[in-house]
Structure 1
Amino acid sequence: MPRRFLQRYLPHPDTLRRRRSLRFVSHLIGNPSLWMLSRRSVANAFMVGLFSALLPIPFQMLVAAFGAWLLRCNLPLSVGLVWITNPLTMPVIFYGNYRLGAWLLSTPAREAPARLSTRWIADQMLDILPILALGSLVSAVVAGLVGNLVIRLIWRWHVSRSWKRRRLKRRHARRSAVDDL
């Protein structure tokens, strides 16, 4: 994965440290290992971010930030990936997690009523929550591991492709130098 491409979209640590709302964690934000863009740090950031995004809990960004600090991976990537589950995608993702949990437990999934309400959800929460938690945990672990592996493979492919390009460029330069003699 190209570093320049990622650096173009990631914020600079100094701009985040200067924000008034983040002053209480400015000593953590300044840690250089949380801003490094290496194959390991980016792949682990994807793992932490995808894992945190698929958990049906509040404060997913804090979980991702703590995971990035714990694994010393890229902080902005892991926190930014949590927004995969935004208000538009969250119902679909969590319903899929619920269906996965129901399938794993071999229980029939509850069908939503024709008119969905918060009252219905609150009444069904005790039955739905363990199934949703299991499905979410399984999908979070699988997505995190697959994300880590895919990023490592993409990064490796990109590096080998740039090596081949450099080798061909050098070979072409040598041939043109020989032809000029």
Structure 2
Amino acid sequence: MPKKMIQRLMPDHQTIKNNKHLKVFGALLHNANLWHLNRRSVSKAFAVGLFFAFIPVPFQMVLAAGLAIIVHANLPLSIALVWITNPLTMPAIFYACYLVGTWIIGVPTRKFAFEASWQWLVESVSTIGPAFIIGCGVLAVLFSFLGFITINSFWRFSVRKEWKKRQQSRD
């Protein structure tokens, strides 16, 4: 059942409640509904987490936590899913965002080499920036939607399978 698998992978409640960046939410973090695992809260958590995983801003976890609180998604899962974009996966994911953006707005891809400088960043905003931002937005919405639908469907399938197993064991 998905619930048992997700419970094993979820971070500890107290660790999240004591996170210095999430203290901004104060007493809202004590809402018990943010910690329950059910089909709706987990599906929403996947939507929230995957959405913010593709948004290239600092403090993605805080933004994901804020939206999870608003839509009553499972908070730990929403925050954990943001880490799909981590230092190892970020270059590939954001390059894919750039390619999708160039395809959508119909501009040719440009060759570029990343430099950790303010000048490179300012120049890139005008050259590759629009395609990158559009690609990030499109993939954020796409994967958010796909995550929601996939988890919701998987959860329903698992529950049906368990019910059939119970029925067969009674017969």
Question: TM-score normalised to the size of structure 1?
Answer: 0.85
Give 1:38's aligned amino acid: N
Provide the C-alpha distance between the structure 2 equivalents of 1:143 and 1:76, rounded to a whole number of angstroms.
19
2:75 corresponds to? 75
Provide the C-alpha distance between the structure 1 equivalents of 2:15 and 2:84, rounded to a whole number of angstroms.
24
**1:41-80 equivalence runs, <5 A:** 41-80=41-80
Q: Which runs of 5+ in 2 are unaligned?
A: none
2:115 corresponds to? 117
Provide the C-alpha distance between the structure 2 equivalents of 1:38 and 1:44, rounded to a whole number of angstroms.
10
- In the alignment, structure 1 residue 141 sits paired with structure 2 residue 145: no
Provide the C-alpha distance between the structure 2 equivalents of 1:88 and 1:98, rounded to a whole number of angstroms.
17
Higher mean Cα deviation, 8-17 or 160-169? Answer: 8-17
**Aligned-residue offset at 1:53:** 0.2
Provide the C-alpha distance between the structure 1 equivalents of 2:14 and 2:130, rounded to a whole number of angstroms.
42
**Aligned-residue offset at 1:10:** 2.2
Among all aligned residue pairs of Structure 1 and Structure 2, give the percentage whose two residues are the same amino acid. 42
Q: CA separation of 1:134/1:60 partners in 2, compared to 1, >3 Å: closer, same or farther?
A: same
**Aligned-residue offset at 1:25:** 3.8
1:34/1:75 contact within 8 Å kept? yes
Provide the C-alpha distance between the structure 2 equivalents of 1:118 and 1:110, rounded to a whole number of angstroms.
18
**Aligned-residue offset at 1:6:** 1.9
Q: Secondary structure at the match of 1:118?
A: coil
Provide the C-alpha distance between the structure 2 equivalents of 1:137 and 1:88, rounded to a whole number of angstroms.
21
Rg larger in structure: 1
Give 1:8's aligned amino acid: R
1:14/1:30 contact within 8 Å kept? no
2:36/2:74 contact within 8 Å kept? yes
Q: Which runs of 5+ in 1 are unaligned?
A: 172-181
2:158 corresponds to? 158
**Aligned-residue offset at 1:82:** 0.3
Q: CA separation of 1:149/1:167 partners in 2, compared to 1, >3 Å: closer, same or farther?
A: same
Give 1:159's aligned amino acid: V
Task: Give the length in aligned residue pairs.
Answer: 168
1:13/1:29 contact within 8 Å kept? no
> What is the root-mean-square deviation of aligned Cα atoms in Å?
1.9
Give 1:79's aligned amino acid: I
1:68/1:75 contact within 8 Å kept? yes
Question: TM-score normalised to the size of structure 2?
Answer: 0.89
